Chains A and B, each alone.
Chain A
Amino acid sequence: MKIPPLLAHVAVFLGAALVAAFASASETKAVAPEEQRARELIHIVRQDCGSCHGLTLAGGLGPALTPDALADKPFEGLVATVVSGRPGTPMPPFRGIVSEPEAEWIVDQLMRGFPLDAGLPPSR
Chain B
Amino acid sequence: MSSQTKVRLAPPALWAVILPAIVWLLAACSSVPPAAGLRGSGDLGVVIERADGRVKVIETTGRSVLATVDGLGDLSHASVVFSRDARYAFVFGRDGGLTKVDLLEARIVGRVLQAGNSIGGSISHDGRIVVAQNYAPGGVKAFDANTLELLAEVPAITEDGRRSKVVGLADLSGNRFIYALFEAGEIWITDFSDPKKPQTQRFAGGNQPYDALVTPDGRHYIAGLFGEDGLAMLDLWNPEQGSRKILSGYGKGQEPLPVYKMPHLRGWSVAGGRAYLPAIGRHEVLVVDTGTWQEVGRIPVKSQPVFAMARPDGREIWVNFAFPDNGWVQVIDTVSGKVTHTLQPGRGILHMEFLSKGHEVWMSARDDNKVVIFDTASKQQVGGFESASPSGIFFTTRAARTGF
**Bind each other:** yes
Chain A residues with CB under 8 Å of chain B are 43-44, 47-48, 50-52, 54-56, 58-61, 85, 90, 92-93, 97, 117, 119-120, 123
Q: Which 3 A-B pairs have the closest CB atoms?
A: A55-B76, A92-B258, A48-B323
A52 and B262 contact, CB distance less than 8 A: yes
Nearest to B327 among chain A residues (CB) is: A123
B262 and A55 contact, CB distance less than 8 A: no
A50 and B76 contact, CB distance less than 8 A: yes
For B77, list chain A residues within 8 Å (CB): 51, 54-55, 60
B367 and A61 contact, CB distance less than 8 A: no
Interface centre among B76, B95, B208 (most CB of A within 10 A): B76
Flag whether B369 is at the interface (Cβ < 8 A): yes
Those of B323-380 within 8 Å (CB) of chain A = 323-324, 347-348, 366-369
Q: List 12 A-B contacts (CB under 8 A).
A: A48-B261, A52-B262, A54-B74, A54-B76, A55-B75, A56-B94, A58-B74, A60-B94, A60-B117, A60-B119, A61-B165, A120-B367
Closest chain-A Cβ to B182's Cβ sits at a distance in Å of 7
Flag whether B51 is at the interface (Cβ < 8 A): yes
For B385, list chain A residues within 8 Å (CB): none
A117 and B51 contact, CB distance less than 8 A: yes
For A56, list chain B residues within 8 Å (CB): 74, 76, 94-95
Q: Is the interface of B mostly helix, strand, loop or mixed?
A: loop
CA distance A48 to B347 in the complex (A): 13
A61 and B347 contact, CB distance less than 8 A: no
A85 and B258 contact, CB distance less than 8 A: yes
Pick the contact of B210: A55, A90, A117 (CB < 8 A): A90
CA distance A58 to B51 in the complex (A): 14
CA distance A51 to B135 in the complex (A): 14
Flag whether B50 is at the interface (Cβ < 8 A): yes
A59 and B117 in contact, given A51-B261, A119-B369, A120-B347 (Cβ under 8 angstroms):
yes
Closest chain-B Cβ to A65's Cβ sits at a distance in Å of 13
CA distance A35 to B367 in the complex (A): 18
Nearest to B117 among chain A residues (CB) is: A59
CA distance A115 to B385 in the complex (A): 28
Those of B202-222 within 8 Å (CB) of chain A = 208, 210
Flag whether B260 is at the interface (Cβ < 8 A): yes
A58 and B117 contact, CB distance less than 8 A: yes
A58 and B95 in contact, given A50-B76, A119-B369, A120-B367 (Cβ under 8 angstroms):
yes
Closest chain-B Cβ to A93's Cβ sits at a distance in Å of 6
Closest chain-A Cβ to B251's Cβ sits at a distance in Å of 15
For B94, list chain A residues within 8 Å (CB): 54-56, 58, 60
CA distance A53 to B165 in the complex (A): 13
B260 and A92 contact, CB distance less than 8 A: yes
For A43, list chain B residues within 8 Å (CB): 367
Pick the contact of B347: A51, A54, A123 (CB < 8 A): A123
Closest chain-A Cβ to B170's Cβ sits at a distance in Å of 18
Nearest to B280 among chain A residues (CB) is: A90
Nearest to B256 among chain A residues (CB) is: A92
For A58, list chain B residues within 8 Å (CB): 74, 94-95, 117
A59 and B135 in contact, given A50-B76, A54-B76 (Cβ under 8 angstroms):
yes
Nearest to B118 among chain A residues (CB) is: A60
Flag whether B259 is at the interface (Cβ < 8 A): yes
CA distance A43 to B258 in the complex (A): 20
For A47, list chain B residues within 8 Å (CB): 348, 366-367, 389
CA distance A52 to B211 in the complex (A): 13
A93 and B258 in contact, given A60-B77, A61-B135 (Cβ under 8 angstroms):
yes
Closest chain-B Cβ to A64's Cβ sits at a distance in Å of 9
Those of B106-124 within 8 Å (CB) of chain A = 117, 119
Provide the B124-155 mask, 1 if CB < 8 A to any CB of A, else 0. 00000000000110000000000000000000
Interface centre among A47, A54, A59, A97 (most CB of B within 10 A): A47
B74 and A61 contact, CB distance less than 8 A: no
For A123, list chain B residues within 8 Å (CB): 347, 368
Nearest to B208 among chain A residues (CB) is: A90
A90 and B389 in contact, given A48-B261, A58-B117 (Cβ under 8 angstroms):
no
A51 and B262 in contact, given A56-B74, A58-B117, A61-B182 (Cβ under 8 angstroms):
yes
Provide the B146-182 mask, 1 if CB < 8 A to any CB of A, else 0. 0000000000000000000100000000000000001
Flag whether B192 is at the interface (Cβ < 8 A): no
CA distance A85 to B94 in the complex (A): 24
Flag whether B90 is at the interface (Cβ < 8 A): no
A59 and B136 in contact, given A51-B261, A85-B258 (Cβ under 8 angstroms):
yes
For B318, list chain A residues within 8 Å (CB): none
Closest chain-B Cβ to A53's Cβ sits at a distance in Å of 9
A90 and B323 contact, CB distance less than 8 A: no
Closest chain-A Cβ to B132's Cβ sits at a distance in Å of 15
